Amino acid sequence: MPTDFPDHALHVACIMDGNGRWAGRRGLPRTEGHTEGEENLARLVRIAVRRNIGWLTVFGFSTENWQRPRPEVRHILGLHEKLFGRVAELNELNVRIQWIGRPFDSPMARTPRYVQRAIRKAITDTAGNTGMVLTVAFDYGGRSELVAAVEAARSSGEGVNVESIGEHLYLPELPPVDVLVRTSGEQRVSNFLLWQAAGAAIYFTDAAWPDFDEAELDAALALAR
């Protein structure tokens, strides 16, 4: 799919961390932090479009996050249904939404059908947009992605090399990450985009995800430009 951006359009990837602590500091339940985090993502998408970013990829839920308490997981699932339901906003912004994660039919996958449906519908309903590509990582883990890519490369008969692995990643169209952001003071990569972020600059900030604003994004972008 052609986009309005030249090949060098920036790819910013965010590990959206610190929702729970953001809420805790305010005496609110963790779920309120996740709700505010989703709202902030919607705000950030608008800002990223204004900044002419080509690709914005965000870590919404990891393969490990299923271990969290059931009510918290349910709340986060509902927020992904809401996020993928923001089709009118995405169309207004000419943003195409994508999803990256374990295939729904893989043995370990647990994504409920209502979230699968929201994801599929949002992808279809924004497929014609030619501006920024927003990729949401849900039930995503970088090591699993690499194992699957290597297996697929081997069984395709192409041999295992940098090109063939790249062609068999979950989303082969995703370009290399220019800047990897992690919020909330944690300085870890946490199994996110291990292959795609091999050469990324890294922006660590103490700001919690719900507080990651325009100035924060600009500070991250300064590392790439």
Using the minimum distance from each CB to Mg ion, give the nearer residue, 125 or 211.
211
Q: Is 65 a catalytic residue?
A: yes
Using the minimum distance from each CB to ligand IPE, give the nearer residue, 20 or 54.
20
Packing angle of the helix pair 70-84, 113-125 (nearest 10 deg): 20
Query: One-letter amino acid identity for 186?
Result: E
Spot the catalytic one: 65, 91, 94, 191.
65
Which CB contacts under 8 angstroms, 24+ apart, belong to 123-129?
A: 123/97, 123/98, 123/99, 125/87, 125/91, 126/87, 126/90, 126/91, 126/95, 126/96, 126/97, 127/1, 127/96, 128/96, 129/90, 129/91, 129/93, 129/94, 129/95, 129/96
Positions in 162-191 near ligand IPE (CB under 6 A): 184, 188, 190
| Residue 78 binds ligand IPE (CB under 6 A) | no
Q: Minimum Å distance from CB 126 to ligand IPE?
A: 22
Query: Is the Cβ–Cβ distance between 122 and 27 less than 8 Å?
Result: no
Q: Which does 188 bind (CB under 5 to 8 A by kind): Mg ion, ligand IPE, none?
A: ligand IPE
Q: Which does 177 bind (CB under 5 to 8 A by kind): ligand IPE, Mg ion, none?
A: none
Rounded distance between C-alpha atoms, residue 51 and residue 30, angstroms? 31
Residue facing ligand IPE at closest CB distance: 20
Packing angle of the helix pair 70-84, 30-50 (nearest 10 deg): 30
Positions in 42-71 near ligand IPE (CB under 6 A): 59-62, 64-65
Q: Minimum Å distance from CB 207 to Mg ion?
A: 13
Query: Is the Cβ–Cβ distance between 171 and 11 less than 8 Å?
Result: no
| Residue 25 binds ligand IPE (CB under 6 A) | no
Using the minimum distance from each CB to Mg ion, give the nearer residue, 17 or 178.
17
Q: Is 17 a catalytic residue?
A: yes
Pick from 76, 217, 220, 221: which binds ligand IPE (CB under 6 A)? 76
Rounded distance between C-alpha atoms, residue 216 and residue 14, angstroms? 12
| Residue 141 binds ligand IPE (CB under 6 A) | no
Residues near ligand IPE, by CB under 6 A? 15-21, 59-62, 64-65, 76, 184, 188, 190
